[in-house]
Amino acid sequence: MFIAAMKAQLLQTEANSKRIKIRIAYQAVEWRIKIKKIEGIWYHKPQKLWSVPNTKENLKQLKLIFGNQHEVVASDSKKIQPKFEMTPEIAAKVQAMHSKLILSGKSASTVKAYRSHTLRFFKHFEKQDIAQLTKDEIEQYMYMLKNRYKISDAYQNVVINAIKFYMEQVMGLPREKYNLTRPKKSSTLPDVLSESDCYELINALDNIKHKSILHLIYSAGLRRGEITNLRITDIRSDEMMIFIKGAKGKKDRTTVLSESTLSVLREYVRRDKPSYWLFEGQDGSKYSASSIAKLFRKASKKAKVAEWATPHTLRHSFATHLLQANVNLRFIQSCLGHSSPETTQIYTHVANINNNVVRSPLDRYMDKMVKKEK
């Protein structure tokens, strides 16, 4: 039974929006069971809401499920930053930035992000001399982004890095002048799945290519981008290892090759016969990271586990499960490709707090009570 005052919320969306967002109380178990039957349903953990494809049929179905216990509320989603045409002056600044980024050996994703952020920065201060901007003026700009567009802490840090790169590396201004305020570093723990949930998820799909991808992510702790960049020759079955070339930070590394994963991969290669990239798209090019996200979502739904999980959750689970098996932290760091052991140590906080290691005082007391009764 639902509390009378409890209402589902349908967040207002534009007519051309692809998804309808739904927010329901945690206690609304019956509603949750019903909406989970809608095709294309997905749970967005950070926003703590659900969404379904924006169709007339789905909207009608939602209204039938909630009846008169729903309300339409204004969407609290962040505003999208506007696009604009570059002036010749801004284009020259962006090109100077681009050249310096390439010469500095930055990755393609970093080049793209820095160009985008400085482009908006130049547009905002279009009528001012960038070299004469004060720290306060730049931080007012950052405040505007946080307040108006609800940018995340991670986004804010990248914007600051882009601005500082231009000021210091392109314009040659001193670092001290632009020592900008950064958000406090969060100490959130990674989400992980149980070993049984991981097993169910990676074996949920019948498509052998998709199954191979999921097996590799979990069994070797790989990132999506590392999966898409794998070549056939990177699977070193003689040495039972996987070679990862040019991973994050432009670093090569090796990681473990699972025997069971190797068996799945051999079946996949016999059937699909990839020519160069281990996983190819329809035109023979590299498989896309977005396709991996889609197949993961399909597997998660079919396995009925981890509605909140992402492909990266399997990587977190890989590290945590190795720690729980008492594998040396240095080995795990090497497999994950972390530069610093401090980055890997975060998994110790996840692995250590469980009933196998730390027994709750309440459980210990209850054990004593049971013994007395006997």
Active site residues: 223, 248, 312, 315, 338, 347
First to last CA, the chain: 39
Helix (H) / strand (E) element for 53: namely strand 49-53
Asked if 218 and 314 count as a contact pair (C-beta separation under 8 A), the reply is yes
Angle at 40 between CA 35 and CA 44, to 5 degrees: 75
Q: Phi, psi at residue 246, to the nearest 5°?
A: 60, 50
Beta bridge partners of 10: 22, 72
Q: Could you tell me the two tokens for 369?
A: 């009570």
DSSP β-ladder status, 49-53 and 235-236: unpaired
Q: Is the dihedral of CA 293, 294, 300, 304 positive or negative?
A: positive
CA dihedral 270, 289, 295, 287 (to 10 degrees): -30
Which one, of 209, 113, 95, 222, lies nearest residue 158 by Cα? 113
Residues 190-213: b if buried by 16+ CB within 10 A, e if exposed: ebbbeeebbebbbebbeebbbbbb
Question: Coil, strand or helix: which one is 252?
Answer: strand
Beta bridge partners of 8: 70
Angle at 206 between CA 202 and CA 212, to 5 degrees: 50
